[in-house]
Structure 1
Amino acid sequence: MRLVIAEKPSVAQSLAAVIGANARKDGYLEGNGWRVSWCVGHLAGLADADSYDPKYAKWRYDDLPILPSDWKMSVGQDKKKQFDILKKLLCAPDVTEVVNACDAGREGELIFRNVYELTGCKKPMKRLWISSMEDSAIREGFENLRPGADYDGLHQAALCRAKADWLVGINATRLFSVLYRRTLNIGRVMSPTLALIVQREAEIEAFQPEPFYTVALELPGFTAVGARMKDKTAAKELQTACRGGSAVVKQAQRKEKSEKPPALYDLTTLQRDANRLLGFTAQQTLDYLQNLYEKKLCTYPRTDSRYLTSDMAEGLPVLVNLTANAMPFRKGIAIVCNPEAVINDKKVTDHHAVIPTRNLRDADLSALPVGEKAVLELVAARLLCAVAEPHLYEETAATLVCAGQEFAAKGKTIQRPGWRRLDAAYHAGLKNAPEPEERPEEKTLPELSQGQSLPVSNASVKEGKTSPPKHFTEDTLLSAMENAGKEDMPDTAERKGLGTPATRAGILEKLASTGFLERKKSKKTVQLMPSRDARSLITVLPEQLQSPLLTAEWEYRLGEIERGELSPEEFLSGIYAMLRELAATYQVVKGTEYLFSPPREAVGRCPRCGGEVTESQKGFFCQSETCRFAIWKDSKWWSAKKKQPTKAIVAALLKDGRARLTGCYSEKTGKTYDADVLLEDTGEYVNFKLDFGQRKGGPS
């Protein structure tokens, strides 16, 4: 028997169907010489601090820093059943080989290896590495299983990342929470990200708008505009001097220009566009894309590449045509496929760009949830644009002189719309789309020649003001995270910036759930604003913990570990040294007694990690740095019943797993009813269901 371990039950079922393991067992599938089971996310992880010494259960300054020498692993109580099933399967005498089929990336490698090592398994290990859940890709992947040892570097990098997060989260969170007498979550990536937001708000608040003036000349068939002027009187004088006069053409140029199609999507650029065009958060986009991947409609989500490999070139025209046929916005537009525009082996590392799969052909896209359908159409539109013809146009630029000052005018004539026709057709079908980007006006300037004199029919002065920096949106913050510290990193660095494509969405959600980040809607965009406590935290946090450069450098070092160029011990020793110095030398900033909001009251204990769950404006959230447990107040489940989780309800759910709800609204009947709500936490998602039991109080 060969044992396959996937990351999720749904993925395991897809793999099992292809390799013929169709018999259902308790916690796994079996058949055709295979057993297929799953992990359900992180089954095993780094143990809590108190597993090293019971005294660490309490947060005390004198115990810092906590720096384990021999790291321990643990299994959450809610995940013990599946872990025990995997342990039994891994240790079964008839299992001769184990296949790691968890997601093909850093985290997937860690999820599998933690279980493999904690069970003490020593059996030969192979790696399934695929970028698509299509049957053909799965089949090819199993025909080309790679030695597990090929990914030892990836595992070491993933483990070092987890240890770095644990070390900074445990030590810095305890240090600042104890010193400032309230829970202050500090994170290796979270804190520098928060610093970016706080710094942007400081720049906006410090900004002083300055007025400026421009003089515009009305000429035969077009308008020419002068340079910005700070002096209104000088602008008025220029206006007077130009009126009734003439402008002489100093220079006129016509240039044929070509605008290349955009590159395909990696996860971050997809999340940015989905936020800007569809209003989705980064986490929503990742969740929708993950579901599309598991439904075999899109390729692997957590990629940082925007290109495809050369072996995909031959099949690309077929994929492009069936994608075009599945998309309503391309009706009436001829489809072109230039594979060379998207093929670049050197720019593909673990996974190629996100694209649709051939399963689009037979899929009922109308049956997809709205969010998944919108993300799929966005991915499809980008594929069609990326392989389309360039956008060709002629640009005319003229410089004219009037009253001794220069004026400029531009014109644009489209010669071949190319990819922009598809892009415009996609945008036209969007609801509540943002205003289109400003582009040169698509109008032609008249024929102009050097030295030509043109009469000025009118001259006007227009007043404007300099604009402050814009508040971050998830689109612009993801870009800032991706580029943070980039200019100071080596050109050879594969991973730059704060976090990775796979982790950035989770960081933003953690900042929101801990009350540091607030989402505020303004017109058609949602702005990200720091809370009072966020500003206070960045005020007292030392530079090394809020510097994007430090964390960006750590990401680069993790890449070196992955390639075998740096030892894990050397990487961790630098973090140990930093934390020793921090605990020994940090002094409380004076005058900060009233800097932070009062501590939040604990509503109960987190079912995942045992940390404190507290209430904030948006919901109830675990205060532990690495935990993402959340009960949102505005979730669809509660809204549909016209109810909202209260402190008393959440306290009961956390203590007993159930709470009584009265006056629930029935969307089906329009009446109300009473029932018990049950909390079901999968370790990744928080779910609720109703239990009517034997009590009275059905629909009334």
Structure 2
Amino acid sequence: MIVCIAEKPSVARDIADVLGAKTKKDGYIEGNGYQVTWTFGHLCTLKEPHEYTPSWKAWSLSSLPMIPPRFGIKLISDPGIEKQFRIIEGLMQNADEIINCGDAGQEGELIQRWVMQKAGAHCPVKRLWISSLTEEAIREGFSKLKDQKEFQPLYEAGLSRAIGDWVLGMNATRLYTLKYGQNRQILSIGRVQTPTLALIVKRQQEIENFTPQQYWVLATLYRETTFSAIIRKSDEELAQEESDAKENPKKAKKAEGNRGIPPITDLATGQALMERIKNVPFTVTEVAKKQGTEAPPRLFDLTSLQVECNKKFAYSADETLKLIQSLYEKKVTTYPRVDTTFLSDDIYPKCPNILAGLTPYTVFTAPLAGQKLIKSKKVFDNSKVTDHHAIIPTGQPPVNLTEMEKRVFDLVTRRFIAVFYPDCKFATTTVIGEADSIEFKATGKQILDPGWRVIFAKPQTNLPEGMTDPDAEARENDEEHSLPAFVKGESGPHLPKLDEKWTQPPRPYTEATLLRAMETAGKLVDNDELRDALKENGIGRPSTRAAIIETLFKRHYIRKERKNLIATPTGIELVGLIREELLKSAELTGIWEKKLREIEKKSYDATTFLNELKQMVSEIVHSVLSDNTNRRVTTIEETATKTATTSTVKQPKKKAGTSRKNASPATPAPTIPSDNELVGKSCPLCGKGTIIKGKTAYGCSEWKNGCTYRKPF
């Protein structure tokens, strides 16, 4: 008998239908020589500390670091899981062959390997590796079954990740809780969780400590067109342009010289310039026209889909993951937990049939029918595809979708159709003019051939039934704005003006921008090619980033204000306590992530990785235990804290003199100085800086060097 094990019952049913297994049993489906069973995600997990050494059950600094000589797994304590495992165990003990039908990814491999190990499976094992759950994909997958040994590096990477997270999380959480938590609350530390929190806290500090600078913009109205004065670039801007050109020569801007006036930072200078030009004719000195093309947007990987859904619909990363997972299980989109935006060449011959199946989108697919589809290297590239390709529709009819699922499906489908349309062709016009030697510039854009843009264009008349237009707001930025016809040498009267402006602080992270920052290890990157290069060092995996953000909410380290992610006082204090860069640096954590990817590619040794991690944890324990500064977390977050996932719960008023629950009764209430007394005092967190007054809170003068002390007004 051949035993197939899937990751969930619905997938097992799909596989059983294809294999001809029709007889439903308790915990599996049988027939045609197959027994198809399932897990419910993880059935097994790594053992708890006390299951290795009984003395580790008590939280004690003297027991750290806890590093078992050999790691073991156990069955998750749950009656339903235990019952299903006994069924699986019985099937595997009598199997002639096992087919691992788990999700085709690192986590899916780990889930099923642990179950097979725990069940004592000893027969040959094959691996089903598919990117969609359509009948055609399942049949093709079973015709090309692989030996499970081919996926040993994938399993080793997943196992290394799990052990690494255990070693760091268990030790660092106990370490920081016991050392700095004052026995009031657990301070949760994680390999990906903590640097992600640090990104949010750092951005919040930059905003809190930002001092707006006033400046003025000189412009003039000529022939109903606004021309803005050209501003000379600073040395920093020129250096950045040079650096960008070296990193990405293809995208380097053509050198135009550093022309223009210096930035206007005082009103008197601006008024003098305006007076200087108001009675002088405006003369057009240059008219430059250039044609260009714009390729269709890339197909979605999981992160870019989560970013887009957060921008357009305010869906959280976790919501989007659940929605695209549901679409995958409903067989209308391909495997979602991917980190590539490319397709492999073998998908190209299947694309006409996929397009033909998208009947609600016939108005867009009809022009492509019967002709050879465009095959762009920006879409089809085997070298950019590893385990799975980008997320695309399968061509199955999108029936029985929820409203939220329809929106996500619509995004994926339009992107897919668009890559087979021609590039958008446009013309740009740049006009330079001057008045009394002060140069001004205006630019215009005209769409010559919309190409792929018709897929996203207004009016909203060609939308499939039940679909809403997701691009209406974003499209406003892409509107063409043509200029009147200007001729070099023409001259005439104009109307100058001087507008007051203020420099703006960085924007708080949203889930969309945080996902991008996690993907590129904290570097803000707009260019797709450079982003691809940085992905290797990103923190977390596409499939785990949503869970990391949700964990920060659940720990009450962050909360949501509209779409913005705000660190709570506890989150801020926790990051301030951590001096070990390996715990909170996105770049350094990204290096560990890269090593895990290299294990998967067989270019790095799993044993070496774990030994390095154990050494790092030992050093962190030694460093924290040697800290004699008496630093502590002073803020306690109530469990009813307002977050994105919980509502505001009114707390009963405390009677005067009563202490907060779980607070140490021996600790007297601190005397809080008045606001006027705070400024200039020594920082209570780092001890180095002094208290300064910001826009909305008091902070520390050493904030640039990492101190996170903050007291709201």
Q: Name the TM-score, length of structure 2 as normaliser.
A: 0.80
Residues of 1 paired with 2:195 and 2:177: CA distance?
Answer: 18
Matched, 1:583 2:616: no
> 1:492-571 maps to which residues of 2 (within 5 A)?
495-521=536-562, 526-541=563-578, 542-571=580-609
Task: Select 1:475's aligned residue among 506, 512, 519.
Answer: 512
Amino acid at match of 2:30: E
Kept in 2: contact 1:307–1:344 (CA 8 A): yes
Secondary structure of the residue that 2:343 maps to in structure 1? Answer: coil
Secondary structure of the residue that 1:69 maps to in structure 2? Answer: coil
When residues 90 and 425 of structure 1 are mapped into structure 2, their CA distance, relative to the original with a 3 A threshold, is farther
C-alpha distance after superposition, 1:444-501 (max 9, x if no partner): 3333344x03213311111111111001001100000000167999998873211011
Secondary structure of the residue that 2:12 maps to in structure 1? Answer: helix
Residues of 1 paired with 2:533 and 2:484: CA distance?
Answer: 49
Match of 1:223?
226
Secondary structure of the residue that 1:166 maps to in structure 2? Answer: helix
Residues of 1 paired with 2:574 and 2:83: CA distance?
Answer: 40
Secondary structure of the residue that 2:540 maps to in structure 1? Answer: coil
Residues of 1 paired with 2:196 and 2:460: CA distance?
Answer: 31
Residues of 1 paired with 2:533 and 2:472: CA distance?
Answer: 36
Kept in 2: contact 1:342–1:387 (CA 8 A): no
Match of 1:293?
328
Aligned-pair RMSD on alpha carbons? Answer: 2.8
Task: Select 1:246's aligned residue among 265, 274, 281.
Answer: 281
Match of 1:339?
375
Kept in 1: contact 2:287–2:486 (CA 8 A): yes
Identity of aligned residues (%): 35
Kept in 2: contact 1:7–1:41 (CA 8 A): yes
When residues 506 and 408 of structure 1 are mapped into structure 2, their CA distance, relative to the original with a 3 A threshold, is same
Match of 1:623?
none
Match of 2:393?
356
Match of 1:597?
636
When residues 333 and 219 of structure 1 are mapped into structure 2, their CA distance, relative to the original with a 3 A threshold, is farther
When residues 437 and 470 of structure 1 are mapped into structure 2, their CA distance, relative to the original with a 3 A threshold, is farther
Kept in 2: contact 1:219–1:454 (CA 8 A): no
C-alpha distance after superposition, 1:31-56 (max 9, x if no partner): 11111111111101111111011221
Residues of 2 paired with 1:475 and 1:618: CA distance?
Answer: 17
When residues 304 and 435 of structure 1 are mapped into structure 2, their CA distance, relative to the original with a 3 A threshold, is same
Match of 1:603?
none
Secondary structure of the residue that 2:474 maps to in structure 1? Answer: coil
Which shows bigger deviation, 413-422 or 57-66?
413-422
Residues of 2 paired with 1:417 and 1:117: CA distance?
Answer: 56
Residues of 2 paired with 1:346 and 1:147: CA distance?
Answer: 23
Amino acid at match of 1:532: P
Deviation at 1:174, TM superposition (A): 0.3
Amino acid at match of 2:197: L
Match of 1:421?
454
- Stretches of structure 1 lacking an aligned partner (at least 5 in a row): 601-613, 620-631, 636-642, 647-700
Q: Which has the higher contact order (CA 8 A, sep 6+)?
A: 2
Secondary structure of the residue that 1:539 maps to in structure 2? Answer: helix
- Stretches of structure 2 lacking an aligned partner (at least 5 in a row): 232-262, 462-466, 653-713
Amino acid at match of 1:308: L
When residues 328 and 537 of structure 1 are mapped into structure 2, their CA distance, relative to the original with a 3 A threshold, is farther
For these two proteins, the number of residue pairs brought into alignment is 601
> 1:57-96 maps to which residues of 2 (within 5 A)?
57-78=57-78, 79-92=81-94, 95-96=95-96
Deviation at 1:595, TM superposition (A): 2.7
Match of 2:135?
135
Secondary structure of the residue that 1:194 maps to in structure 2? Answer: helix
Secondary structure of the residue that 2:619 maps to in structure 1? Answer: helix
Task: Select 2:444's aligned residue among 403, 411, 424.
Answer: 411
Kept in 1: contact 2:206–2:506 (CA 8 A): yes
Deviation at 1:425, TM superposition (A): 4.2
Kept in 2: contact 1:412–1:440 (CA 8 A): no
Residues of 2 paired with 1:644 and 1:378: CA distance?
Answer: 40
Residues of 2 paired with 1:359 and 1:589: CA distance?
Answer: 64
Deviation at 1:320, TM superposition (A): 2.5
Q: Name the TM-score, length of structure 1 as normaliser.
A: 0.81
Match of 1:374?
407
Deviation at 1:124, TM superposition (A): 0.5
Kept in 1: contact 2:197–2:571 (CA 8 A): yes
Residues of 2 paired with 1:440 and 1:134: CA distance?
Answer: 37
Residues of 1 paired with 2:111 and 2:595: CA distance?
Answer: 21
Secondary structure of the residue that 2:284 maps to in structure 1? Answer: strand
Residues of 2 paired with 1:163 and 1:389: CA distance?
Answer: 48
Match of 1:400?
433
Match of 2:674?
none
When residues 62 and 343 of structure 1 are mapped into structure 2, their CA distance, relative to the original with a 3 A threshold, is same
